[in-house]
Amino acid sequence: MTAEGALARVIRSAGGRAAAEAEVCELCAAPVAEAHPHLYDTADADVRCVCGPCSVLFAGDGAGEGRYRLVPRRRLRLPPVDTAVLGVPVGLVFFVPRSDGTVTAQGPSPAGAMRWEVDAAAWQRLAATCAPLAGMEPDVEALLVNTARGSEQHWIVPVDDCFRMVALVRREWRGLSGGGRVWPAVERFFAELTERR
Question: pLDDT for 96-115, tens place per residue?
Answer: 999 899 999 999 988 878 89
**What residues in the chain have per-residue pLDDT under 70?**
1-21, 61-65
Residue 175 and residue 127 in one domain? yes
37 and 55 both lie in a single domain: yes
**Predicted local distance difference test score (pLDDT) of residue 119:** 95
| pLDDT for residue 89 | 85
Residue 86 within a domain: yes
Q: What is the pLDDT of residue 34?
A: 87
Q: Are 156 and 132 in contact (CB under 8 A)?
A: yes
Rounded-to-integer distance, Cα 92 and Cα 144, Å: 8
Question: Which pLDDT does position 134 carry in this prediction?
Answer: 93
Domain that holds residue 20: 3-70
* 47: β partners: 40
- pLDDT for position 64: 62
Residues 105 and 171 in one domain: yes
Query: Is residue 95 located within the same domain as residue 184?
Result: yes
The model carries a pTM of: 0.83
